[in-house]
Amino acid sequence: MANVFDKLCIVIAIPLGAILMILGALGLILGCNAHFTLPPLLGVIPFFPGFAMCVCLIKYWKLTNELQNKIAKQTATPSTPQSDFDQNL
């Protein structure tokens, strides 16, 4: 599960990934110049790490929320041996 530090890193990394995606989308047409210079067709390269950062982190965030909800449901309603027996009938 994600702790506070993990979520803080995610909150910082998602905007950075979005910036790289925008830079890459614009770089495809115009080229890019951000302490490095790429010609128009290669300017799309920053898009890919930006996209990878955003997608992975958003999926991880959702997964940890789903796991937390699943764990909370399991601990909130403990099953008794009698109820397990009744369900199997």
pLDDT (0 to 100) of residue 51 = 87
DSSP code of 8?
A: H
Q: Which two tokens stand for residue 77?
A: 């309603």
Give the domain ranges of the chain.
4-76
Torsion on CA atoms 56, 58, 63, 64, rounded to nearest 10: 110
The pTM of this model reads: 0.51
Give all strands (DSSP E) within the chain, no chain letters: 32-33, 37-38
Residue 68 CB contacts under 8 Å (≥ 6 apart), including other chains: 1
Q: What is the pLDDT along the chain (89 residues), one digit of tens a residue?
A: 567 877 788 888 888 888 888 888 888 888 867 677 778 888 888 888 888 888 888 888 888 778 778 877 877 665 555 555 555 55
